[in-house]
A = this chain, B = another copy of it.
């Protein structure tokens, strides 16, 4: 069972985080929901409190297959500054492992120097990253090498489905896409 780390930071975008965790689990992925700090009750951008299962402190890059960052500007700033997240991103990239981010969070990938040439993000966030290579809404999910990026709350399910396709396979992707009624996803 592939293992994916989803770090939660204060101010995370709740719908993106929960869509990613929920849909990836439906697809047969073991999702680790981890807090950046000792406090496990994390308040999102819209005041929804999600409980992390543990802290990120003991997560090692050699035991996970992917790290995926939910968006929200508050959460993204924390992800861009957190030493554990930044270290894991660099280690995962050096090992050629999968990395993902949605909405504002590609900013945190850029901070770690792991964002590839082609990417997407929430509209206008590219101004804080770079306009070169920004793919806008041409695709719900942009894949460049080992890095997958997506746009925002409305593409979070589609993003999770593409991660299932990559880590688990076509069959699980098709089953879950049908199961969650997300026929609008590519």
A180 to B46, CA, bound (A): 13
Number of contacting residues on A, CB 8 A?
33
- Inter-chain contacts of A151 with B (CB < 8 A): 181
User: Within 8 Å of chain B (Cβ to Cβ): is A155?
Assistant: yes
Binding site for B on A (CB under 8 A): 13-15, 18-19, 21-23, 25-26, 33, 41, 44, 46-51, 122-123, 137, 151-155, 157, 180-184
Pair A18/B14 contact, Cβ less than 8 Å: yes
- Inter-chain contacts of A14 with B (CB < 8 A): 18, 21-22
Q: Is the interface of A mostly helix, strand, loop or mixed?
A: mixed
Closest A-B pairs by Cβ, 7 of them = A154-B182, A154-B181, A49-B51, A184-B184, A153-B180, A18-B18, A152-B181
- Inter-chain contacts of A157 with B (CB < 8 A): 15, 153-154
A22 to B154, CA, bound (A): 12
- Inter-chain contacts of A183 with B (CB < 8 A): 154
Pair A22/B50 contact, Cβ less than 8 Å: no
A46 to B53, CA, bound (A): 13
24 pairs from A and B in contact (CB 8 Å cutoff) = A14-B22, A15-B15, A15-B18, A15-B22, A15-B157, A18-B19, A21-B46, A21-B48, A22-B44, A23-B153, A25-B46, A41-B51, A48-B50, A49-B50, A50-B50, A50-B51, A123-B181, A152-B180, A152-B181, A153-B181, A154-B157, A154-B181, A154-B182, A154-B183
